[in-house]
Amino acid sequence: MDASKTSQFVVIPPPTVGVPIQGSESLFPVRRIFCVGRNYAEHAREMGANPDREPPFFFTKPADAIVTGGKDVLYPGATNNLHHEVELVIALGEGGSAIPKEDALHHVYGYAVGNDLTRRDLQAEAKKAGRPWDTAKGFDQSAPIAAISPVSVCGHINSGKISLSVNGALRQSGDVRDMIWSTEEIISCLSILFALQAGDLIFSGTPAGVGPLVPGDQVVAAIAGLTPLEHTLVC
């Protein structure tokens, strides 16, 4: 039955998740969160993969994994090895299927800095057993994100320093231009697998240097030209 034609739901529907827009009172409504695995060569190598032979692959996080506004992030249960992964996040303002690469950037609303938090121990167990990564990647508060900068303000982010520091010490440092699969290629490939829609976010992969976080750690993630992301891990 079409939910729009029902008079009420049997439980209260969850609120739409919104991400702040830089310089605006408006919010970006989040529909889905897609993530690209191993999209920087050095990170692929540190995870034991060969970046020269692997086509892009994707996993997802639920929309309510988002944490905005620099809020504290709760250290998750069921892990002893939580890792940080700074990423360029692509926010889609238009959807589509089988989007040609040359048209892909027209679908981008803006960009943001995100942290793809990962239960690395659970991911390693899943890999060994040939199981999905959901518990390692899609847990509560696993997707902290800074305010989205519209393309009209920041332009398209296809190069620039990307970094993450923990308690003032640099952990990750690279350049967005080092992505194996570009923003255009990511959108085009993803749109073959899914019908993309406005409100979708794409975490585009992380450079080398991923490592553990513990409660009390203060994280600062940055990409040139975008609002930095800051958050603290708490118990």
How confident is residue 2, by pLDDT bands cut at 50, 70 and 90? low
DSSP secondary structure string, 18-65? EEEBTTSS-EEEP--EEEESS-BHHHHHHTT--TTT----EEEE-GGG
Q: Which of 229, 181, 185 is nearest to 205 (CA)?
A: 181
Q: What is the pLDDT of residue 4?
A: 53
Q: Find the mean pLDDT for residues 172-178.
A: 96
- pLDDT score recorded for residue 7: 73
pLDDT band at 44; cut points 50, 70, 90: confident
> What's the average model confidence in pLDDT over 63-80?
98
**For residue 3, pLDDT beyond 80:** no
Strands 66-67, 143-144: pairing is parallel
pLDDT > 70? residue 53: no
Asked if residue 6 has pLDDT above 60, the reply is: no
pLDDT in tens, 103-152: 999 999 999 999 999 999 999 999 999 999 999 999 999 999 999 999 99
Q: What is the per-residue pLDDT across 181-206, written as a single tens digit (0 to 9) for each?
A: 999 999 999 999 999 999 999 999 99
Give mean pLDDT, residues 88-92: 99
Question: How far apart are alpha carbons 103 and 97 in whole angstroms?
Answer: 12
Give domain 16-234's CATH superfamily: Fumarylacetoacetase-like, C-terminal domain (3.90.850.10)
Q: What is the mean pLDDT of the chain?
A: 95
The domain segmentation of the chain, as residue ranges, is 16-234
> Who's near 159: CB < 8 A, 6+ residues apart?
175, 176, 177
